[in-house]
């Protein structure tokens, strides 16, 4: 936390401030403020909108290219889907143009278990301009892609066999009476054959012609459901109780995200500068819902039309980029970047480039509205943050805005062993580009099943030399984790920042080529070396010690299949025993053992754990 505090003291120097977008009005002139977090007008997200592929999905593959580089306004849709047979489908927003984006639509690629689609895909799925797609399994062995299009109330493409055959395009579902237009949908499917379709979407508010106020909300968050693959809709733009004008004045597009359905249990999260942060849960497939508030934001979630003289000092809240997931024990996990808002001259502003990534789960109390980083850290609710490097000059130079915080765009997935994985995009001080603009990298953390704390500090997944001078942003992670691998797609370019969002920055970013890339990340990337994160109570197992190298004490996990006699021996590199512990009979399950290495000289050692005669040996380094 010392690094965090040092960084916060340095925010007022050396960092370019960013413009921001209004929710229900056209962008205004941006005010510069002497901090990395800045105010910009608030609005519903803008309507701004030729793949090359490699031969096999090993670690990374190029799925497509796009000149349109704003893959979301806040939260990431369900963009990559792993089917039970190991095949993978991915989608993204693509366009070959630098303005108007008349050819904008859903890029799509498919991995059949051996290779991605070839020759390269060069066209969108839709016949009209769309954007911000979601993808899911559909009607047995098929797939469905739903994309944003305000003039037709969205566009849907389906095909009965995933990865092959012609797509069928339809519009809708329809808007309820009184809604003038729809935008920014999020879709999931569930059921025995994925015949149930669930959609969250936003009614267009007055700042998005031809929108209108609907049921007292200048942008209402609504819910659709089909139980027959989209043939009919039994819930058509329903306003879920608790999301009404008694609680809010408006919602904004892309400030909501689905968790992976578990049977008939559905979960989604909502958060933003002008709402509170909360999760909604249904255990009856969307018939009824319960609401759990994570961050109250009570003073600012009902700010409707304000007098021209209204002034409100900046506050902290979610930046609107959220992720949510439920683990196998029913615990709900939530993550969001930190943002905020302010009011000046009656106009609403959102604040970009605040520091910190919030973590909350359903065993925790409500977050403190201050979102102070030290307080979050003390309560285990600070998942990630930016801090300066170890040397003079290892600081931020120029930060470009993506409508979010310095650490944001989170994704959460849970594997079959109840290990929780989180990926997010974070700004880095390392290797700024020739214009002195800092790049963003993908960072990750994991929480081992049964453990109360995260296994490691955030890991920079783009720290290798091959990633130097590249931006990595808009990570989408598949909910299914097969063979202990995270499947992700993201956007990368040699130019940091977004050209589409040039109006939101004080330093315009040139249009440039962006690659949509697929990457497989082994789950053990996030664990101290040697730990078997798939270890259960059905086998003996010994994990790698952590920390390693060791200064003082170190610990490791021993998993015992059944009550057994356990002995621990430590030997030096010459094979001489320097430590012996008879642990006696150890009960079934995972146990944490600690070694006190203060008496050992610097060097390489080996610890061996014998469980009923079965031996497990790991190397450790003592400093």
Q: What's the rounded Cα separation, in Å, for the pair 431 and 89? A: 33
Tell me, yes or no, whether 45 lies in a domain.
no
The fraction of the chain above a pLDDT of 70, given in percent, is 87
Q: What is the mean pLDDT of residues 383-394?
A: 90
Cα–Cα distances in angstroms (integers) from residue 165 to residues 114, 124, 160, 565, in the given order:
18, 15, 8, 59
Do 391 and 478 fall into the same domain?
yes
Q: pLDDT tens digits for 326-349?
A: 999 999 999 999 999 999 999 999
Q: What's the rounded Cα separation, in Å, for the pair 534 and 531? A: 9
Do 443 and 591 fall into the same domain?
no
Do 514 and 581 fall into the same domain?
no
Q: What's the rounded Cα separation, in Å, for the pair 386 and 406? A: 7
Tell me, yes or no, whether 329 lies in a domain.
yes
Q: What's the rounded Cα separation, in Å, for the pair 397 and 220? A: 39
Q: What is the mean pLDDT of residues 17-39?
A: 32
* 588: nearest Cα among 572, 566, 609: 566
Checking if the pLDDT of 9 tops 90, the result is no
Tell me, yes or no, whether 356 lies in a domain.
yes
CB 444, CB 521: distance < 8 Å: yes
Tell me, yes or no, whether 441 lies in a domain.
yes
Do 270 and 241 fall into the same domain?
yes
CB 242, CB 289: distance < 8 Å: yes
Q: pLDDT tens digits for 532-567?
A: 444 443 478 888 888 888 889 998 888 888 888 999
Range of the domain at 551: 541-622
Q: Which residue has the tokens 């580089």?
A: 69
| Span of 109-123, 267-281, 366-380, 570-584 with lowest mean pLDDT | 109-123
Instruction: Identify the residue with better confidence: 46 or 151.
Output: 151
Do 498 and 407 fall into the same domain?
yes
- Predicted confidence at residue 13, as pLDDT, reads 27
- Is residue 203 classed as helix, strand or coil in its secondary structure? strand
Do 465 and 611 fall into the same domain?
no
Q: Is the N-terminal amide bond of 354 cis, ω within 30° of 0? A: no
- Predicted confidence at residue 537, as pLDDT, reads 39
* 332: nearest Cα among 305, 298, 293, 302: 293
CATH number at residue 128: 2.120.10.10
Do 490 and 548 fall into the same domain?
no
- Predicted confidence at residue 119, as pLDDT, reads 62
- Classify residue 9 by its DSSP letter: H
Strand partners, 514: 66
CB 584, CB 591: distance < 8 Å: no
Tell me, yes or no, whether 39 lies in a domain.
no
Average pLDDT of the chain is 86
Listed residues 526, 552, 582: the one ending a domain: 526
Checking if the pLDDT of 574 tops 90, the result is no
Checking if the pLDDT of 37 tops 70, the result is no
Q: What's the rounded Cα separation, in Å, for the pair 352 and 405? A: 5
- Predicted confidence at residue 51, as pLDDT, reads 25
- Predicted confidence at residue 420, as pLDDT, reads 94
Q: pLDDT tens digits for 253-278?
A: 999 999 999 999 999 999 999 999 99
Tell me, yes or no, whether 15 lies in a domain.
no
Question: How many CB atoms lie under 10 A from the CB of residue 96?
Answer: 16
For CA atoms 332, 333, 337, 342, the dihedral sign is positive
Do 492 and 568 fall into the same domain?
no
Checking if the pLDDT of 530 tops 70, the result is no
First to last CA, the chain: 24
Q: What is the mean pLDDT of residues 99-112?
A: 94
Burial of 388 (0-12, 13-18, 19+ CB in 10 A): middle
pTM of the model: 0.80
Tell me, yes or no, whether 24 lies in a domain.
no
- Predicted confidence at residue 117, as pLDDT, reads 83
CB 162, CB 84: distance < 8 Å: no
Q: What is the mean pLDDT of residues 231-246?
A: 97
Element spanning 374, H or E: helix 373-378
- Is residue 466 classed as helix, strand or coil in its secondary structure? helix
Do 198 and 115 fall into the same domain?
yes
- The confidence band for 120, taking pLDDT boundaries of 50, 70 and 90, is low
- Based on the structure, what is the number of domains in the chain? 2
Query: 425-442 burial, b if ≥16 CB within 10 A, otherwise e?
Result: bbbbbeebbeeebbbbbb
Checking if the pLDDT of 383 tops 60, the result is yes
Structure tokens of 112? 């059949």
Structure tokens of 578? 């320097």
- Predicted confidence at residue 390, as pLDDT, reads 85
Q: pLDDT tens digits for 298-329?
A: 999 999 889 999 999 999 999 999 999 999 99
- Classify residue 285 by its DSSP letter: T
Q: pLDDT tens digits for 416-473?
A: 888 899 999 999 999 999 999 999 999 999 998 777 788 778 999 999 888 999 999 9
- The confidence band for 40, taking pLDDT boundaries of 50, 70 and 90, is low
User: Chain centroid to CA 234: how far?
Assistant: 30
- Predicted confidence at residue 619, as pLDDT, reads 84
Checking if the pLDDT of 127 tops 60, the result is yes
| Span of 149-153, 231-235, 300-304, 383-387 with lowest mean pLDDT | 149-153
Q: What is the mean pLDDT of residues 571-588?
A: 87
* 502: nearest Cα among 15, 1, 67: 67
Structure tokens of 218? 């200048």
CATH number at residue 550: 2.60.40.2550
Q: What is the mean pLDDT of residues 393-418?
A: 91
Integer-rounded Cα radius of gyration of the chain: 25
Q: What is the mean pLDDT of residues 486-504?
A: 87
Q: What's the rounded Cα separation, in Å, for the pair 423 and 282? A: 26
Tell me, yes or no, whether 438 lies in a domain.
yes
CB 544, CB 558: distance < 8 Å: no
Do 613 and 478 fall into the same domain?
no
Q: pLDDT tens digits for 155-171?
A: 999 999 999 999 999 99
Structure tokens of 41? 């007008």
Phi, psi of 135 (to 5 degrees): -135, 145
Do 205 and 321 fall into the same domain?
yes
Listed residues 526, 559, 578: the one ending a domain: 526
Q: pLDDT tens digits for 166-205?
A: 999 999 899 999 999 999 999 999 999 999 999 999 999 9
Cα–Cα distances in angstroms (integers) from residue 580 to residues 51, 297, 556, 570, 596, in the given order:
59, 56, 16, 6, 12
3-class secondary structure for 484-506?
CEEEEEEEEECCCCCCCCHHHEC
Element spanning 80, H or E: strand 80-82
Q: What's the rounded Cα separation, in Å, for the pair 82 and 249? A: 38
- Predicted confidence at residue 32, as pLDDT, reads 25
Do 463 and 564 fall into the same domain?
no
| Span of 74-78, 114-118, 436-440 with lowest mean pLDDT | 114-118
Q: What is the mean pLDDT of residues 38-59?
A: 37
Checking if the pLDDT of 55 tops 90, the result is no
CB 566, CB 559: distance < 8 Å: no
Listed residues 472, 500, 526: the one ending a domain: 526
């Amino acid at each position: 936390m010392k690094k965090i505090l040092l960084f916060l003291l340095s925010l007022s120097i050396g960092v370019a401030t960013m413009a921001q977008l209004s929710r229900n009005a056209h962008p205004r002139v941006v005010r510069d403020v002497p901090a990395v977090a800045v105010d910009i007008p608030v609005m519903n997200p803008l309507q701004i909108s030729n793949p090359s592929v490699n031969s096999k999905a090993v670690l990374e593959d190029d799925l497509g290219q796009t000149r349109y580089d704003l893959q979301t306004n806040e939260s990431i849709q369900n963009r990559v889907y792993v089917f039970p047979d190991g095949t993978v489908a991915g989608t993204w927003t693509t366009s070959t143009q630098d303005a108007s984006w008349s050819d904008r639509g859903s890029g799509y690629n498919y991995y059949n278990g051996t290779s991605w689609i070839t020759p390269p895909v060069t066209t969108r799925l839709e016949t009209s301009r769309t954007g911000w797609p979601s993808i899911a399994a559909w009607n047995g062995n098929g797939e469905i892609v739903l994309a944003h299009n305000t003039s037709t109330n969205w566009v849907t493409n389906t095909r009965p066999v995933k990865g092959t055959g012609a797509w069928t395009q339809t519009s809708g579902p329809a808007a309820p009476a009184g809604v003038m237009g729809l935008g920014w949908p999020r879709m999931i499917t569930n059921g025995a054959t994925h015949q149930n379709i669930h959609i969250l979407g936003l009614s267009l508010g007055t700042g998005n012609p031809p929108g209108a106020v609907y049921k007292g909300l200048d942008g209402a968050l609504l819910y659709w459901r089909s139980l027959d693959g989209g043939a009919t809709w039994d819930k058509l733009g329903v306003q879920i109780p608790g999301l009404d004008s008694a609680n809010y004045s408006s919602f904004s597009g892309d400030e909501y995200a689905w968790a992976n359905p578990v049977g008939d249990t559905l979960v989604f999260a909502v958060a933003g500068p002008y709402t509170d942060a909360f999760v909604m849960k249904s255990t009856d497939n969307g018939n009824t819902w319960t609401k759990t508030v994570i961050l109250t934001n009570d003073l600012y979630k009902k700010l409707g039309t304000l007098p021209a003289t209204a002034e409100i000092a900046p506050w902290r809240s979610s930046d609107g980029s959220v992720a949510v997931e439920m683990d196998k024990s029913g615990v709900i996990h939530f993550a969001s970047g930190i943002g905020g808002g302010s009011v000046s001259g009656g106009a609403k502003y959102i604040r970009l480039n605040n520091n910190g990534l919030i973590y909350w789960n359903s065993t925790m109390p409500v977050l403190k509205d201050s979102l102070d980083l030290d307080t979050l850290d003390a309560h285990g609710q600070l998942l990630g943050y930016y801090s300066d490097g170890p040397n003079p000059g290892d600081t931020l130079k120029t930060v470009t805005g993506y409508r979010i915080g310095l650490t944001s765009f989170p994704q959460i997935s849970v594997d079959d062993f109840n290990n929780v994985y989180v990926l997010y995009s974070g700004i880095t001080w390392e290797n700024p580009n020739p214009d002195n603009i800092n790049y963003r990298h993908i960072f990750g953390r994991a929480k081992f099943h049964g453990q109360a704390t995260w296994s490691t500090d955030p890991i920079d997944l783009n720290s290798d030399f091959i990633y130097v001078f590249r931006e990595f942003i808009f990570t989408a992670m598949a909910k299914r984790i097969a063979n202990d691998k995270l499947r992700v797609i993201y956007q990368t370019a040699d130019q940091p920042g977004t050209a589409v969002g040039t109006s939101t920055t004080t330093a315009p970013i040139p249009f440039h080529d962006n690659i949509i890339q697929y990457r497989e990340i082994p789950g053990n990337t996030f664990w101290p070396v040697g730990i078997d994160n798939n270890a259960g109570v059905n086998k003996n197992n010994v994990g790698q010690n952590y920390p390693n190298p060791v200064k003082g004490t170190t610990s490791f996990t021993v998993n015992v299949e059944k009550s057994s006699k356990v002995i621990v021996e430590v030997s030096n590199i010459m094979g001489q025993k320097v430590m012996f512990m008879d642990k006696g009979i150890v009960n079934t399950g995972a146990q944490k053992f600690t070694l006190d290495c203060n008496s050992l000289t610097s060097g390489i050692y080996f610890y061996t754990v014998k469980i009923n005669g079965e031996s497990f040996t790991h190397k450790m380094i003592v400093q």
